[in-house]
Amino acid sequence: MILPDHEIRKLLAEGILVVEPLRDPEHQVQAAWVDLTLGDEFKVFKHTQEPFIDSRQPKDYTETVRADGRPFTVHPGDFILGITGERIRIPSSLAAYVDGRSSLGRLGVTAHITAGWIDPGFDGKLVLEISNLGKMPVTLYPGMRICKLLLFQLASPAEVPYNLRKDAKYAGQSAVGQSKMYQDEDVRK
């Protein structure tokens, strides 16, 4: 079951669900989701002579760009990593899903390409996989609403939520980070 606005507000007020800072609750808590904003840190992929990215290697092909409140332009074909302005903490009784906003999609910008599922027990900022599929550059602004967080009630709380898993490689993230796929057991084999 997807939680409606009044249930979301109740969980936020009780501190069971955390979205902080929630700068404008009246506009961010919608009928069945919470709008999240764009942070001011991005990872941009560098041009390299490497023929491919090896998912078993922890090599970083990105450079960090801090917008410091300034606009950030995403050019056609660009793929960048961004981060939400809010830290979220999902209780073990909920799961969540992050999805883009229609207004950005109509400009050709995806706010989150894949991996939108957020496990029970996750605590941290969300790294966004942003791409411009359109034909024109699009300027994004730190603080603008970038994606929506849908919340799902579980039939019962998870026995081992994400924050208690040994392999929770993105737990507590507070900055834009590269892929940690190289840490996955099936990739290391």
**Under a CB-based contact definition with an 8 Å cutoff, are residues 85 and 34 in contact?**
no
Terminal Cα-to-Cα distance of the chain (whole angstroms) = 38
3 state DSSP class of 65? strand
The backbone region for 56, taken as left when phi is positive above 0, alpha when psi lies in -120 to 50, beta otherwise, is: alpha
> Is 129 designated active site?
yes
Overall residue count recorded for the chain in this entry: 189
Catalytic hit among 14, 26, 129, 159: 129
Q: Which of 73, 76, 87 lies closest to 42 in space, CA to CA?
A: 73
Decide: residue 77, CB within 10 A, 0-12 exposed, 13-18 middle, 19+ buried: exposed
> Which are the catalytic amino acids?
129
